[in-house]
A = this chain, B = another copy of it.
Amino acid sequence: MAILVKKFGGSSVATPEKIHGIVDRVLKEKQPEDKVVIVVSAMGDSTDDLLTLAGRVNPDMPKRELDMLLATGEQVTIALMAGAFCAKGQPAVSFTGAQAGIKTNDKYSKASIIDVEAGRVKQALDEGKVVIVAGFQGITEGGDITTLGRGGSDTTAVAVAAGLKADMCDIYTDVDGVYTADPRIVPNAKKLDEITFAEMLELARLGAGVMQPRAVEYGEHNGVAIHVRSTFHEVPGTIIRGEYTVQEKKFVIRGVAHDTNVAKLAARGVPDEPGVAYKIFAALADANVDVDMIVQSASVQQNKNDILFTVAKTDMAEALGVLEKLKAEMPFDKVDLEVNVAKVSIVGAGMLGSPGIAAGMFGALAGAGINIGVISTSEISISCLVPAEDVTKAVNAIHAHFFPQEAEH
């Protein structure tokens, strides 16, 4: 007997016909003794439709009420999918996040799961039912409905799998798995059979959008392996887990990520005094601006420095405001903003013990004639800022260097 938790996204359940398609596939793969939990998102664009409706009523909708509204999207899907299983003769029951015991804090619109009380789900499974759980939503201790924010259904699925002590959680998506680079820009990118939680988190942080980091973290903390696989093709995908089970032909680097949602800001000519960097980044933190890469360098003027950093484009207006204010207060000379930049990164847990990795990356970029702006490193990644128009060329050059045999296929 296996406990199987499977998550299907909104595009997989966009119509009654697609819902029946999922049901058929699940029933075909299900062994008689398997206990199956399905976690689903809202149908197709229905969440966007609800957001549009909310905007017409109140452009500044209270977040509690927005969660109350959005939670209906998944509730529609679960009822329909349970009905679809029953239509095929398979007993099934739907549970809202609250009924499935998904307890969250009260940070509406981006709540975190604090516990999963899986009693009702277990009981229904023991009664031989397929259980359909609404993704993306939970309930506070006070009984208020919350949503988990972007990618929340993945987190629900992993949390339910953890609550049921399932060994694996299947996340069905529109890609076949995790690739060594985005296959849309690197045609010969290779699908990975396995990747570690740490590598996957680093790839996600650096722009590889396959899985939301929170679901991966939840899997890591609860020891639930995550199988990222295709809704459309019945082939194995990529399993995210704590350690490799198979020694694949070992690559030090597991993936090349890129991110174009980057803006570079610079405070030029700041005083060369203690506490200046602290002042700048404390002010940015107070404004809830998430700073990524940071470089400080000597200014062309004596006793002055330039401080450069990158933020997400969505934060750049806020960051600009903070800098302009500091420029007058501190004072310093000038604020620069550059939006035509992108970040390319390599990720691999093996790079720590392998010299020459950074040199290999810089060499690949140099060979492609690409100028490197800022460089930053973590234990398992190296990132370079490059001109936005060079991002495809940069990713391909790096990928060809670290995955040379793939280029020949």
A99 at the B interface (CB under 8 A)? yes
Expressed in whole angstroms, the minimum distance between the Cβ of A338 and any Cβ of chain B is 39
In the bound complex, do residue B58 and residue A84 qualify as a contact, i.e. CB atoms below 8 Å apart?
A: yes
Residues of A in contact, count (CB < 8 Å)? 38
Number of copies: 2
In the bound complex, do residue B16 and residue A56 qualify as a contact, i.e. CB atoms below 8 Å apart?
A: yes
A62 at the B interface (CB under 8 A)? yes
Q: Which B-chain residue is minimally distant from A72 (CB atoms)?
A: B72
Interface 0/1 of A49-79, CB less than 8 Å to B:
0100110111011101110110110011011
Residues of chain B within 8 A of A120, CB atoms compared: 143
Q: Which B-chain residue is minimally distant from A93 (CB atoms)?
A: B64
In the bound complex, do residue B83 and residue A78 qualify as a contact, i.e. CB atoms below 8 Å apart?
A: no
Residues of chain B within 8 A of A98, CB atoms compared: 143
Expressed in whole angstroms, the minimum distance between the Cβ of A14 and any Cβ of chain B is 12
A86 at the B interface (CB under 8 A)? yes
Partner of A62, one of B57, B75, B82, B145: B82
Interface 0/1 of A346-368, CB less than 8 Å to B:
00000000000000000000000
Residues of chain B within 8 A of A56, CB atoms compared: 16
Q: Which B-chain residue is minimally distant from A78 (CB atoms)?
A: B68
Most chain B beta-carbon neighbours within 10 Å: one of A58, A61, A75, A84: A58
In the bound complex, do residue A80 and residue B99 qualify as a contact, i.e. CB atoms below 8 Å apart?
A: no
In the bound complex, do residue B76 and residue A75 qualify as a contact, i.e. CB atoms below 8 Å apart?
A: no
In the bound complex, do residue A65 and residue B53 qualify as a contact, i.e. CB atoms below 8 Å apart?
A: no
In the bound complex, do residue A75 and residue B86 qualify as a contact, i.e. CB atoms below 8 Å apart?
A: no
Additional pairs, 11, CB under 8 Å, beyond known A65-B79, A65-B82, A65-B93: A16-B57, A20-B57, A50-B76, A53-B76, A57-B87, A58-B83, A62-B86, A65-B94, A68-B78, A69-B76, A120-B143
- Report 29 cross-chain contacts, Cβ distance below 8 Å, ordered by A residue: A16-B53, A19-B57, A53-B76, A53-B80, A54-B80, A54-B83, A58-B84, A58-B86, A61-B86, A62-B86, A65-B79, A65-B83, A65-B93, A66-B79, A68-B75, A68-B78, A68-B82, A68-B96, A69-B79, A69-B83, A71-B75, A72-B72, A72-B76, A72-B79, A75-B75, A96-B145, A98-B143, A99-B143, A120-B143
